[in-house]
């Protein structure tokens, strides 16, 4: 049995367990991640973030980022699977680094499996450059207006757009006759064609210019109260479909856990901004 420290934090109620392993001597097993994320047997969270110096990362592609970003956000979904990165998690990770004095205030970079991400901090407001984004099948999307379909449990098949925002997303804009709150997300939505590595799925209700509401089913987790990269994908998909949308529009994205903001920035990148809160510290005993 091994006792490890942890910190619990959230970004718009998308919650995470952070485990410091600064010298890279305590990699987390899949079972350990599942226990930490379990809301009855462990601490509870949508994901687990191991805080480790980039030079000690297991993956060579991550270690190559060490010159730009000294700290690696080793992110895992609640089911134990590793993920490229997490938008809300990156803000919580940044808040932890800042509290622990591991970074200088203002602006710094973090390493992720999805590449280096630039963070900026103003008070308790955290913004992350998620990097370049793209529509997965732009030709198909232009020809038909969409490139895949999604069916939620008990729902009808709806057109969708697949985007990559450092991780995969499939976005559905709901027609007026379907209530956002009525979408059943107790099971994974059926996506066709289904991406090889899975996908997060966003259901979106336009509210007004530059303003949408969203619910999300995250791969490896289920429905969560918020998803940062999902909010970015939802805003970008809405902009793609809306001929009257200004490319420079800043988007307010309402999620069950609060509100985040999204904006396209130069270089074909997209920025996500919002709060990050560290709520508790403790220790937990993990089986060897």
193 with 106, same domain?
no
Query: Token pair 């226990």 is at which residue?
Result: 35
Specify the pLDDT at position 140.
75
| Residue 249 known to be catalytic | no
pLDDT for the residue 245: 60
CB neighbours of residue 80 within 10 Å: 18
Nearest Cα to Cα of residue 83 among 59, 99, 107, 119:
59
Write down the catalytic residue from 85, 128, 227, 264.
Answer: 227
Q: Which residue has the higher pLDDT, 287 or 253?
A: 253
Nearest-angstrom CA–CA distance, 50 and 33: 10
| Sign (positive or negative) of CA dihedral 84, 35, 96, 270 | positive
Tens-place pLDDT, residues 47-84: 999 999 999 999 999 999 999 999 999 999 999 999 99
Q: Is 4 left (phi over 0), alpha (psi -120 to 50) or beta?
A: beta
For residue 193, is the peptide bond before it cis, meaning its omega torsion is within 30 degrees of 0?
A: yes
- CA 27: distance to chain centroid? 22
Domain total in the chain: 2
**CB distance 162 to 147 below 8 Å:** yes
Among the listed ranges 213-217, 259-263, 266-270, which one has the minimum average pLDDT value? 266-270
Give me the CATH number covering residue 162.
Answer: 3.10.310.10
Q: What is the pLDDT of residues 135-183, one digit of tens each?
A: 998 887 777 778 899 999 999 999 999 999 989 999 999 999 999 999 9
Verify that 6 and 127 share a domain, yes or no.
Answer: yes
Query: Torsions phi, psi of 47, nearest 5?
Result: -160, 170
Q: What tens digit of pLDDT does each residue of 192-247 get? A: 998 888 999 999 999 999 999 999 999 999 999 999 999 999 999 999 887 556 56
In a domain, 115, yes or no: yes
Cα 194 to Cα 150: distance, rounded to the nearest angstrom: 10
Identify the pLDDT of residue 28.
94
**What is the predicted pLDDT for the residue at 243?**
56
pLDDT digits (tens, 9 = 90+) for 17-52: 999 999 999 999 999 999 999 999 999 999 999 999
Burial of 193 (0-12, 13-18, 19+ CB in 10 A): exposed
Q: What is the predicted pLDDT for the residue at 249?
A: 74
At 95-119, the pLDDT tens digits run: 999 999 999 878 999 999 999 999 9
Active-site residue identified among 17, 36, 37, 86: 86
Calculate ∠ Cα 220-221-227, nearest 5°: 110
* Whole-number pLDDT of residue 241: 87
Domain that holds residue 206: 134-262
Do the domain assignments include residue 100? yes
Confidence of residue 5 (pLDDT cuts 50, 70, 90): very high
The number of CA neighbours under 13 Å toward the Cβ of 87 is: 31
Question: Does the pLDDT at position 266 exceed 70?
Answer: yes
Q: Is residue 30 part of a domain?
A: yes
The helix or strand, by DSSP H or E, that contains position 63, with its residue range, turns out to be helix 60-63
My answer on whether 56 and 117 are in the same domain is yes
Same domain, 65 and 91: yes
Of residues 124 and 101, the one with the higher pLDDT is: 101
Tell me the average pLDDT across 255-274.
95
Catalytic residue list contains 227: yes
Does residue 215 form part of some domain?
A: yes
Q: To which residue do tokens 């800043």 refer? A: 250
One domain, residues 195 and 247: yes
CA atoms within 13 A on the CB side of 167: 25
């Amino acid at each position: 049995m091994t006792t490890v420290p942890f910190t619990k934090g959230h970004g718009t109620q998308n919650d995470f367990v952070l485990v410091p392993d600064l010298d890279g001597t305590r990699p987390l097993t899949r079972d350990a991640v599942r226990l930490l994320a379990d809301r009855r047997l462990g601490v509870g969270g949508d994901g687990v973030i191991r805080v480790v110096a980039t030079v000690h990362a297991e993956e060579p592609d991550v270690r190559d980022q060490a010159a730009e970003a000294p700290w690696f956000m080793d992110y895992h979904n609640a089911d134990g699977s590793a993920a490229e990165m997490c938008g809300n998690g990156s803000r919580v990770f940044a808040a932890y680094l800042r509290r622990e004095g591991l970074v200088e205030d203002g602006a710094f970079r973090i390493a992720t499996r999805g590449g280096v991400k630039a963070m900026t901090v103003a008070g308790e407001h955290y913004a992350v450059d998620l990097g370049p984004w793209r529509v997965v099948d732009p030709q198909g999307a232009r020809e038909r207006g969409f490139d895949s379909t999604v069916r939620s449990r008990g729902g009808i098949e709806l057109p969708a757009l697949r985007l990559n925002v450092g991780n995969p997303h499939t976005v559905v804009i709901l027609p007026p006759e379907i209530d956002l709150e009525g979408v059943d997300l107790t099971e994974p939505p059926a996506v066709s064609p289904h991406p090889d590595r899975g996908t997060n799925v966003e259901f979106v209700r336009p509210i007004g210019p530059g303003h949408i509401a969203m619910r999300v089913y995250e791969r490896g987790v289920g429905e969560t109260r918020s998803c940062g990269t999902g909010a970015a994908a939802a805003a970008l998909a809405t902009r793609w479909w809306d001929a009257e949308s200004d490319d420079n529009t800043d988007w307010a994205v309402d999620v069950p856990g609060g509100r985040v903001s999204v904006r396209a920035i130069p270089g074909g990148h997209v920025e996500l901004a919002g709060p990050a809160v560290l709520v508790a510290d403790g220790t937990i005993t993990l089986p060897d």
